[in-house]
C-alpha cells in the first residue's frame, strides 16, 4: 500500500490522527522536500514523533526516481508525506497515477494546505480564481505564462493566490553542467521580490492585468504561531519586509465583498487609503451597463 499523507502547514502535530496511525505502521516513510517545508518541525523531530526514519525525497527522486518508492510499496506499506495536502502539487498526482498503473493500492489522507488556509486573511475562498506560482527570475529566464491567468481572474472579478518559489537542494547551472553534486543554499522568495517581478512583467506587457496600485495582501508563515498578514498595493508591498519564510500573496479581484474589505483593513497602515484603492480598483474590467438592442424598423 502507498499512503499519501498530508502533514498540514507547520507543526509535527498538525498531522491527522488517521495520518499518524498510517505512518506508524509503514515500513518506509518518505518526506517530499522540494515543494514546501514544515516550518516548525525538523526531520529529527519528525523521526522522534513518528518513531521511524524519515527519508527526504527531493525533486529528482520523486519525478525521475519514483520507481524506488513504488518498488517498496509493492511489498509493504509505504508513507509519502507531503507538507499541506497531498494534492497541492501536480507531481503527487503523477505519483498516484504511476502507482495505479502498476496495481499498487493507494490511500490518500488529506490535511490543511495554503489552498484553503489562505481564507485566514479574510478573503472568501469561493471568490478565488486560478492559482499561480511565481518562480525566481534569472538573467536569462523570466517566465510570464502566469500573467494571462491573472488577467483572466481579474476580468471575472476573482482573487488570485500567488505561491512563491522555494529552492531546496538546487544546483547551479555550472555545477549541473560539470556533473558536480554541489547544491546551493536554500532560498525562499520574499513578498517584495514577488511584487517586483509582478511589476516588471506588467511594464513589459502593458495590458494592465494589474497596476502598481492594485490592492493585495501579503501572507507570511501561514499556519504557524508567527503568521502575519499585510494589506497594501503591489507597489507598497514591493517595499515590505516580510521576514522569515514561507510567504504567499493574493491579488484582489474586482468583486471584493464589504466583509472581505473590513477584514483586510485590520492589516493595512492607512485604512482610508486602502479602502479608496480597493474602490478605485473595482472599476477595472467592470462590465459595461446593459443596453437594449435597437429595434430595426420593418419599413
Annotated binding site: 9, 85, 88, 113-114, 164, 222, 247
Give me 169's grid cell. Answer: 537542494
Half-sphere exposure of 246 (CA within 13 A, CB side): 26
Q: What DSSP string runs through 236-286? A: HHTT----SSPEEEEEPPS---HHHHHHHGGG-S-HHHHHHHHHHHTTTTP
Q: Which residues pair with 29 in a beta bridge?
A: 79
Q: Which of 186, 183, 125, 189 is nearest to 159 (CA)?
A: 125
| C-alpha to C-alpha distance for 3 and 74, rounded to whole angstroms | 12
Count CB-CB contacts under 10 A for residue 32: 25
CA dihedral sign of residues 151, 156, 157, 163? negative
Beta bridge partners of residue 4, listed in sequence order: 80, 108
C-alpha 153/C-alpha 254 separation (Å) is 9
Q: Using CA atoms, how far apart are residues 209 and 226, in angstroms rounded to an integer?
A: 32
* Inter-residue contact 127 to 255 (CB < 8 Å): yes
DSSP, collapsed to helix, strand or coil, labels residue 2 as strand
- Burial zone of 211 (CB within 10 Å; 0-12 exposed, 13-18 middle, 19+ buried): middle
Q: Which residues are annotated as a binding site for S-adenosyl-L-methionine?
A: 9, 85, 88, 113-114, 164, 222, 247
Amino acid at each position: 500500500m502507498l499512503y499519501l499523507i498530508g502533514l498540514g502547514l507547520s507543526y509535527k502535530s498538525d498531522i491527522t490522527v488517521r495520518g499518524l496511525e498510517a505512518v506508524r505502521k509503514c515500513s518506509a516513510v518518505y518526506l517530499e522536500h522540494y515543494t514546501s517545508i514544515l516550518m516548525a518541525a525538523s526531520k529529527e523531530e519528525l523521526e522522534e514523533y513518528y518513531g521511524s526514519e524519515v527519508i527526504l525525497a527531493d525533486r529528482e527522486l520523486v519525478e525521475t526516481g519514483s520507481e524506488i518508492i513504488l518498488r517498496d510499496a509493492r511489498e509493504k506499506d509505504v508513507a509519502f508525506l507531503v507538507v499541506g495536502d497531498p494534492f497541492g502539487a501536480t507531481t503527487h498526482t503523477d505519483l498516484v497515477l504511476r502507482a495505479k498503473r502498476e496495481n499498487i493500492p493507494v490511500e490518500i489522507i488529506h490535511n490543511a494546505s495554503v489552498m484553503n488556509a489562505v481564507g485566514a486573511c479574510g478573503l472568501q475562498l469561493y471568490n478565488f480564481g486560478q492559482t499561480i506560482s511565481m518562480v525566481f527570475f534569472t538573467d536569462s529566464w523570466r517566465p510570464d505564462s502566469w500573467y494571462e491567468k491573472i488577467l483572466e481572474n481579474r476580468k471575472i472579478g476573482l482573487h488570485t493566490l500567488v505561491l512563491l518559489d522555494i529552492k531546496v537542494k538546487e544546483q547551479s547551472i555550472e555545477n549541473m553542467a560539470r556533473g558536480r553534486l554541489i547544491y546551493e543554499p536554500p532560498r525562499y522568495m520574499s513578498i517584495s521580490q514577488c511584487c517586483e517581478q509582478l511589476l516588471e512583467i506588467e511594464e513589459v506587457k502593458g495590458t494592465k492585468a494589474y497596476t502598481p496600485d492594485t490592492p493585495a495582501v501579503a501572507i507570511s508563515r501561514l499556519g504557524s504561531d508567527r503568521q502575519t498578514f499585510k494589506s497594501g498595493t503591489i507597489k507598497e508591498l514591493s517595499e515590505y519586509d516580510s521576514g522569515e519564510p514561507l510567504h504567499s500573496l493574493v491579488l484582489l479581484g474586482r468583486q471584493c465583498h464589504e466583509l472581505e474589505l473590513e477584514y483586510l483593513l485590520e492589516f493595512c497602515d492607512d485604512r482610508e487609503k486602502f479602502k479608496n484603492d480597493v474602490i478605485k480598483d473595482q472599476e477595472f474590467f467592470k462590465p459595461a451597463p446593459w443596453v437594449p438592442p435597437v429595434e430595426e424598423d420593418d419599413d
